[in-house]
Every structure is written in structure tokens, then in C-alpha cells.
Amino acid sequence: MSQIQNPILPGFNPDPAICRKGEDIYIATSTFEWWPGVQIHHSRDLVHWRLLCRPLSRPEQLDLRGVEDSGGVWAPCLSYAHERFWLVYTNVQNKQGAFFDTPNYVVWAEDIEGPWSDPVALTRTGFDPSFFHDEDGRSWLTSMRWNHLPGSTKFDRIVLQEYDREEQKLIGPEYEIFHKAIGGTEGPHLLKRGDWYYLILAEGGTGWHHAITVARSKELMGPYEVHPENPILTSHGDPENPLQKSGHGGFVELPDGSWWTTHLCARPLPGTELNGKAGTGRCLLGRETGIQPLIWSEDDWPRLAHGGRFPRQQHQAPALPPCPWPDEQKAFDFLDGQIPDCLQSPRLPIDASWVEVEPDPGYLRMQGGGSPLNRFTQHLLARRITHWVTAAEVELDALPRHFQHEAGLRALYDSECWYQLGVTWDRDQATSESSAPGARVLRLSSMEDRNYAVDRDSQVRLKPGAVSLRFVIDHQVLTAWWRQADSDWQQMGPELDASKLSDEFGNNSSLNFTGSWYGIFAMDLCGDGFYADFKQLSFRDGPPEPTAYAEDPQN
């Protein structure tokens, strides 16, 4: 039998909501400030998964301009009922201090791949909304409610309100149906099984104490009794478990009659334990998606099929026909005229106003945009990092004419934490002509908690023509490499700390929720039309071939 290997969706794929239509199984995950919004993965056997679509792909559906890092789309919920797919989501506009600004929306489609409707505004009372479609044909919105008042429990209540599908609006009163099982109550999902309504919750905060809890009632409005063995899933108390932070998921019944729960999880890098505490560390790949089998006991409560409450990395796959998908494309020459589907942009819709592909002779042209801290017009296209040993490589050609022009390759967590190799202009290298070739340099720089640093000791003066850039990550170590023409690869600067590209690094780590990326960028702080042409972009899950390096990379 095939084996399920957790995480099933590696890399930044948190808050999984699972949905089934017939033989097809879908998982929707959060995308935060990254455009397009929401990732939907597809499987038919729980073993093989493919990225199918990102439904929030029009500016009318999602406005991310100005949202802070780790704001934007939180915890979407995907459901199928009444011959439609329904997607509800929050666009978090602010999450600082006492106040959270959390408008919620719903879109729908008859086909999972769209077209998806324009959004209908729902409540702003809190985040993590989900739809429940009852057996009587009525639909309900449930979410957590945020309490900003001083001295309050911020995670106030789980609330429920009816949604009129014909009128496309919420109707009737808002009902308070639940407070807490263990605290920090969010991520509510409702399901009906037999005579019981089950409320599946994320609790304990989305860190080391995270968990899935369950409550139930024979009446939709409650009262709800809590599971006698809550939490039913958590990593807390199992410090040797490679899947930490486990919690926030949803239940699904498969065609073979088996039940499963999704959950987010995170894998700490070995050797990065926080304050020497086992079961913690820096999670380079962010919060990922795992899945565990469930059973329903004689008392009508769900429990993990393998017993206890801790997740496992491997499970026997359900009795479903195997359904592998083609391998993900990881190398791009742009001859097809398409922007690769694996690439996303922070906050900015990807359109011809700033990026286009020229199929002949094959390159992606990116206009220079704002700085890496810009929350409106930062020009960056990036792919998730999904393995601890990985690499990204690109060839580019750019003619900067000013020190405020730069283009290149970036390894990043968010706008305030990154490393980059950039082609720029150095006036100290310039002759009397500001655009002289001698002024074009390759520079290694970094940003840590908004502290910007440039490694001028390893700066390289470039010859005319294209330059190839590469980042390599091997667990905690990140190295930068470059070459021109047919020369050997040369290392740029010292070994760097890749583990900083994680939720756990930085002054604001309690509000960091995303993951690490490789990206290509172009910056033009002058606004005078600077652009860069990118060619031969590739990603590798695993190290480059050893023969790709010079024997002495510093020569």
C-alpha cells in the first residue's frame, strides 16, 4: 500500500480547509499578503497533490495594497453545496495592538477552477470565517469574534449567523455558540454527523501550544459540550515529534468511508532550538499542511486512529485508486510566453503594467518598482521554499544607471527579513559618464528587522553582458554564488544564516505567520524607467551538482 508522508503540502501552506466533491479532494490554504489569493491543492488519493488554482485572481476580489506583513488572506474555508463551491476568507488590514480590522467575504464558482464570482462582503466581527450548509438547505457563517476592549479575552466567542444565498447577505441575529475549550479559540468549522453538530476548533495559539479541539451539540445553536479528551490533536507535550505547532484543521469523509483531519504543522530546523528547549526552533519552511486518519468511537467522539493526540509523519494511504500527477515544472526559459504559475507577488496583481514575458528570444522583463519595504508597488516574483536543502538560479541582464536601480535574486521571509544578490550601480566605480559599464556592480545585501546592511567587501565589478546568480540553502546555511559567460561559479560573501527566514526570527515573531521564498526583483527608486530582463530561471529541491562550482570559488 502507498504511504502518506507528512507534510503533504510542504512549505508555506497553513490553515488547511479540506473539501470533497465526489472523488476529488481539495485543500484551501492561507496566502496572507501574497497575490493571487488562496492556494487550492487537489488530490484523489491523499498521497499525490497538485496546485490546482488560486481563485482570488482579480483586483475586484482582493485588495492587498498596504496590508502589513502576515496580514491579508487568513484561514480561507472551502465548501461544496447547492451545486457550487463556496470560498469564504478574511482580508486582514490591521493586526497591531488592540484593534484587528478583519473584513470577511465570500466568492463562489460552479467549477473549482473558476470563474469565481466577485466577492460579497460579510461580517467584520472577527477572522477565520467558514460556511456550514445544514441538511435543511440553510447556510450559516461561523467565525471567531475579536474583542478589542481593555482587560478582555481577545478571542471572545465563536459566533453564527445565517447567510441567504438568494439575497447574498447575512440575515437574522448573530448567535454566540461557544467560548473556549483550552483558550485562544479560532478557526471554527461545523459539520453534521448523525444526530450531532460538531464544532472543530483551532486553539492554543498558532505556536508551540497549538491544537485541534472539538465540541458538540444536538442543536445548532448549542449548548456545546467539549470533547472529554481535548485536544484531540496537538504536538505540545511531544518535543521529539518532527511535526510541531500542530493544529487548525478540518474533517473530511472519503469515498472509502474513512475519515481524516487536516492540520497545520511546522518543522524546526535541527540545531536551532529556542533557549535550548526541545520541540522548538526556527521553522525555515513556515507552517505546512499535514493530515491524520480519524475514527469515531462508540461514544460518537472523533479520535486519532493511531491513538493519543500526537500527529505522525507516515500513514497508510486510504483504499483509493492511486492518482499521481505530472512533476512540477521547476525550470523556465520563457519561450512559452507565460509567467510561471509557481510565482506569486507581494500584494500587487501580476499584470503587464510591470512584468511581461517575451517568448522570442525568451525572457521575462520586469520594470523597476518600489523598495523591499514598499507595501504598494514592490516588484517581486517569488516561489515558496519547500525543502531544507534547495537552490534557486537565474540569469539576468540589466543596465542600472543610478545607485537607486537594482535587480537580482532574493531569499526572503518578508519585507523586513531577506538576503539579496543585486546588480546595481556604484558611483565610486563610475567614470565621468554615469552609465559607464565600470559602474555596474554585483552586491550582496541583507535586511534584518529593518536593519539594512551591504557587504561591500565582497562587491564585484561586472563585465558587460548577462550575469547568473544562485542561492543555495543547506539547512541553516545559505550561500550566494555568481558567474558571467562560461566561467566557473564563484561564492559571493560569507556563509549566511538561512534560519532567520522564519516565523521565529525578529522582534515581531509572535505575529509572523508565513514562510520563506526565493524571488526575482527589480527596484527603481528614481522612477525613470529602469528594468531587468530575466532568463533561465530555475529552482531545485536538493543541492546543485558539485561539479557546477569552481575548485576554489574565491579565485
Q: What is the pLDDT of residues 506-539, one digit of tens each?
A: 876 778 999 999 999 999 999 999 999 999 999 9
Task: Please report which residue ranges of 122-212 form alpha helices under DSSP H.
Answer: none
Residues 291 and 349 in one domain: no
**299 shares a domain with 233:** yes
State whether 379 and 284 are in the same domain.
no
- Which residues touch 361 (CB under 8 Å, ≥6 apart)? none
Residues 352, 478, single domain; the answer is yes
Q: Is 163 a domain residue?
A: yes
Q: What is the predicted pLDDT for the residue at 507?
A: 72
Judge if the upstream peptide bond of residue 36 is cis by omega within 30 degrees of 0.
Answer: yes
Residue 321 located in a structural domain: no
Domain CATH code at residue 416: 2.60.120.200
Query: Same domain for 132 and 234?
Result: yes
pLDDT digits (tens, 9 = 90+) for 199-253: 999 999 999 999 999 999 999 999 999 999 999 999 999 999 999 999 999 999 9
pTM for the model stands at 0.95
Q: Residue 326, preceding bond cis, omega within 30 degrees? A: no
Q: How many domains does the chain have?
A: 2
User: Would the pLDDT of 549 be above 50?
Assistant: no
In a domain, 326, yes or no: no
Phi/psi class of residue 486: alpha, beta or left (left: φ > 0; alpha: ψ in -120 to 50)?
A: alpha
Q: Is residue 381 part of a domain?
A: yes
**Mean of the pLDDT values across residues 369-388?**
98
Asked if 392 and 311 sit in the same domain, the reply is: no
The radius of gyration of the chain from alpha carbons, rounded to an integer in Å, stands at 24
Q: Catalytic site residue 229?
A: no
Q: Please give the DSSP secondary-structure letter assigned to residue 491.
A: E
Distance CA(350)–CA(341), nearest Å, equals 11
Query: How many angstroms separate the CA atoms of 420 and 517, rounded?
Result: 12
pLDDT band with cut points at 50, 70 and 90 for residue 439: confident
Same domain as 276, residue 215: yes
- List the grid coordinates of 82: 447547492
CATH number at residue 115: 2.115.10.20
45-58: burial string, b at 16+ Cβ within 10 Å, e else? bbbbbebbbbbbbb
Measured CA to CA, the distance from residue 89 to residue 87 in angstroms comes to: 7
15 is catalytic: yes
Same domain? 354 vs 311: no
Which amino acid is residue 2, in one-letter code?
Answer: S
Question: Confidence class of residue 550 from pLDDT cuts 50, 70 and 90?
Answer: very low
Of 256, 290, 316, the last residue of a domain is: 316
What mean pLDDT comes out for the span 534-546?
84
Same domain, 173 and 236: yes
The residue from 68, 186, 288, 414 that is catalytic is 186
- Position 525 scores a pLDDT of 98
Is residue 249 included in any domain, yes or no? yes
Locus of grid cell 486510504: 318
Which residues form the domain of 535? 331-548
In a domain, 323, yes or no: no
**CB neighbours of 181 closer than 8 A, spacing ≥ 6?**
201, 203, 213, 215, 226, 227, 230, 231
**Mean pLDDT taken over the chain:** 94
Rounded CA-CA distance 536/285 in Å is 25
* 3-state SS assignment for residue 308: coil
- Looking at residue 453, its pLDDT comes to 96
Considering the domain architecture, whether residues 385 and 359 belong to the same structural domain is answered as: yes
- 37-91: pLDDT as tens digits: 999 999 999 999 999 999 999 999 999 999 999 999 999 999 999 999 999 999 9
